[in-house]
Structure 1
Amino acid sequence: MKMSLQYKFVEFIPEKVEEGILYVSIEYCTAIHKCVCGCGNEVVTPLSPTDWRLTFNGKSITLYPSIGNWNFECQAHYWIRNNNVEFAGHWTEKEIRLGRENDLERKTEYFDMPDIPKEEPVIQESQKSTIWQKISKFFRL
């Protein structure tokens, strides 16, 4: 079964989300659509380096990675590529758990701050060397 979605760029997500439309708010880094299985649930996909990435080529939209509606009864799993919906295989409970663990690990890695070098101690005015002291020290070596 071939299915496609239209897209609409909006500032705010409408109160009534229509079937077959992917609403995209660049201002709020969010995309939303009704689950493509027909269950009626609204699927929110945050756009960020650790969530979904949106590609718009001027004619069509792609979301990456796939959408796994694991919290819905339907547990629909699919890709949105060039406005087309491509159904993916059903995941087991173990695959869902591993996928969630990988997602958490990726987010933790991304947001984990690298070690910040300690600041140099502040030299108080009395500890600063004058130019003559530096020259003198240079010649004593």
Structure 2
Amino acid sequence: MSRRLEVDHRFVEELPAALKPGLVYISGTHNIAAHLCCCGCNEEIVTPLGKAGWTLHYDGQVTLSPSIGNGALACSSHYIIRESRIRWLSDMTESQHARAHARDHAAAQELNATQEPWLARALKVIFNWVR
């Protein structure tokens, strides 16, 4: 396996059936970025974008943050994609993976707790209007 040092990007509506190495696919429709692991193991990496996921910055080049930590994969690779270049970090340990997973889960729970269902918001507006 050979590690990549940079990536290119494609904006897509839907992800293709087979991802190509060295490309980050960005779908605004589904609010995700996806690529094959940059270590060369060819595992598919899907990063949800948004408050409980990754941040995508695009200025002709792609930056994803935080880092991509593949602690659940056999490769355990860990890297940052900044300005379409790969900055390699030391492989993720099991404890780092567990902490990252717990942090991601807590962020998703917090986001879900703060988002009121649309019906509840609509009923509040109607109730306040009638009062």
Deviation at 1:97, TM superposition (A): 1.3
Cα separation, 1, equivalents of 2:92 and 2:34: 22
Per the alignment, residue 15 of structure 1 pairs with 17
The alpha-carbon deviation at position 46 of structure 1 amounts to 1.2
Structure 1 residue ranges without an equivalent (≥5): 124-141
Larger Rg: 1
CA distance in 2: counterparts of 1:98 and 1:16, whole angstroms: 31
2:67 is matched with which residue? 66
RCO (CA 8 Å, sep 6+): is it higher in 1 or 2? 2
Question: Partners in 1 of 2:114 and 2:56 — Cα distance?
Answer: 25
The residue aligned with 1:40 is 42
Q: Aligned residue for 1:28?
A: 30
Q: SS where residue 110 of structure 1 aligns?
A: helix
| Equivalent position amino acid for 1:38 in 2 | G
TM-score normalised by structure 2 residue count:
0.80
Q: What amino acid maps onto 2:24 in structure 1? A: L
Measured on the aligned residues, the alpha-carbon RMSD in Å equals 2.4
1:109 is paired with a residue whose SS is helix
3-state SS of 1:79 partner: strand
CA positional deviation for 1:2: 6.8
Structure 2: tracts of 5 or more residues without a match: none
Give how far 1:113 is off.
3.3
Identity of aligned residues (%): 32
1:90, 1:15 → 2: CA distance? 28
Q: Which runs of 4+ in 1 moved over 4 A?
A: none
TM-score (norm: length of structure 1): 0.75
Using the TM superposition, give the Cα deviation of residue 107 of structure 1 relative to its aligned residue in structure 2, in angstroms. 2.0
Structure 1 position 76, deviation (Å): 0.9
Distance apart, 1:11 and its partner CA: 1.0
Counterpart in the other structure of 2:57: 55
